Structure 1
């Protein structure tokens, strides 16, 4: 079970190699939109001699479809915890050669053993955070809302057409289940019916389902409430001080995004060099400073911005830690029912 630890991680493990050996080659890297600093890729090229390109996608579902269609010629991609075992079961990932990843020793103790890949055979954890929601206190009645998913699923009438949900059932279903007091991995069709009814009731209040542009919409005041990742919230609040991030009392999902090598990758050796290089504290800290999410590498806090430590959306307050809900792998039957709900919802 993964437990949220404060950003100021005190344990420093063995640092592994100080840098990657000079190498020639190329790397095709794909990541979530706006989730990796371009200048860090330039540093990787300078450090290793490997020429790298960066592509983007907007969801785990999009990435899964690309991999099923042939991988998009990618050498390293970044799926979330909820998709690792799906990709392994569908034979879309290849096992690491761990002799080429000495910096695995740098992974912080909290992330050394993860349920979805206990031995890090297929995945190396990258950045992690929470999926809650934010609101603009300047746009809500009284300027404050209850710390509950009720405020999101049953928002004030004044926010009709100004609420956005993420465009992924894996992001939307768990909070609905938390709010209703239902097991998020339920196999009971009656439970699924309750979730369906809740989401259909919410739908007329929404402006859209969209996982892109969450920062821009909230920063501009274009909408008053947005289901949002905590790092995206931090970046939006830097531009609009009236924003509030909510840790709902019913529970909030945590996520871990991971580096993996797709089956059929062309540049496997270079992929190992890149992943090992990213496990150096100063390199992954640069990614945290850009994307505004915590990372999984011990010692990286020495290189991270103080503002990340000071934001409760990133550094969860002690009295909110018991609200965090780590990833839980659901059965195929449960996921099938969830998929049916999503299909009906998006009609």
Structure 2
């Protein structure tokens, strides 16, 4: 993980020193926070924001659960929100301090993983698929077979993002299983396929956007927004929706129970629910955001992008991952731990 103080935010904090009201510590996925949005927030509030990166939900949860993290806000995926709540790691939100909470789009206001948005508000949402460089491989990108049994053109050129639930569930769907399955026959088949496939991969790395853009990776299990950013830089990159099934996700901002800068956190939460500000987040990371009215501020190229607008024939193959029981998590963790060795 890498901790950094956004330089522009620091500059604005100095420039607007007389109006400075405090600081805020945001714990978020790497390369996922718009610097322009942070500049605007600091300019309007005088609050400087320090962003600390993580590369997986497991990394973030482990760090927060250890305590004394110093973070105020965290951005877990949907299936992790209930885990944070169960462990007492999140504060219940005071909606009276978030007037812009009414801007959350109707379909995201009352979600299974956080009923009534008691603990979180939307950040961004999207899908997990397969990014492919068509100058290297011109076959069908819409299958998880590309990383489970790579064609010769892609052997030694594939990256796997290090997010356990995304990778394992894509393999489980390929094997005909369901999310949170504890069927040992299915899980043994998944384990065996992943272990057999690993020698044909190049890496298990979070930082895919630049390496897909440059051609260092010819393919990757990857998120749709990251793939769009790579495709904008390199038109040979395409995004595949595995027809066997693929995960959907929504990452949401949550206030940590031990946050020190609570007032500043509420100002930030309210700020990102302004449609124009939500669109700034999307324009940077290239994911949809869940805030009604943000569409008019979105970049034109996102409105029709194949990574953002799911083709009808693959729409039903995507599903949000539920929060699995601990018994299933233990099984998945055992497979993942072996895979990482």
Report the Cα offset of residue 50 of structure 1: 2.2
Matched, 1:340 2:334: yes
Any runs of at least 4 consecutive aligned residues in structure 1 with deviations exceeding 3 A, and if so which?
none
Contact 1:252–1:323 (8 Å) recurs in 2: yes
User: Could you say what secondary structure the match of 2:255 adopts?
Assistant: coil
Alignment of 1:90-169 (within 5 A): 90-140=87-137, 143-145=138-140, 147-169=142-164
Change in CA separation of 1:158 and 1:319 when aligned onto 2, cut-off 3 Å: closer
User: Could you say what secondary structure the match of 1:209 adopts?
Assistant: coil
Distance 2:326 2:103 in 1: 34
Matched, 1:210 2:205: yes
User: Could you say what secondary structure the match of 2:292 adopts?
Assistant: coil
- Give the aligned partner of residue 302 of structure 1: 296
Contact 2:272–2:278 (8 Å) recurs in 1: yes
Map Cα deviations across residues 259-282 of structure 1 (whole Å, 9 max, x no partner).
011121101111111101110000
Distance 2:89 2:240 in 1: 36
Report the Cα offset of residue 71 of structure 1: 4.6
Which residues of structure 2 form unaligned runs of 5+? 1-18
Contact 2:150–2:200 (8 Å) recurs in 1: yes
User: Could you say what secondary structure the match of 1:73 adopts?
Assistant: coil
Matched, 1:322 2:319: no
Alignment of 1:1-347 (within 5 A): 24-140=21-137, 143-145=138-140, 147-211=142-206, 213-347=207-341
Contact 1:129–1:294 (8 Å) recurs in 2: yes
Report the Cα offset of residue 319 of structure 1: 3.0
Normalized against structure 2, the TM-score is what?
0.91
Report the Cα offset of residue 39 of structure 1: 2.1
How many residues align? The count is 323
User: Could you say what secondary structure the match of 1:119 adopts?
Assistant: helix
Distance 1:100 1:336 in 2: 38
Map Cα deviations across residues 160-192 of structure 1 (whole Å, 9 max, x no partner).
111111112112111001101011211222221
User: Could you say what secondary structure the match of 2:25 adopts?
Assistant: strand
User: Could you say what secondary structure the match of 1:181 adopts?
Assistant: coil
Which residues of structure 1 form unaligned runs of 5+? 1-21
Report the Cα offset of residue 247 of structure 1: 0.7
**Alignment root-mean-square deviation, CA:** 1.4
Distance 1:101 1:146 in 2: 42
Contact 2:132–2:141 (8 Å) recurs in 1: no
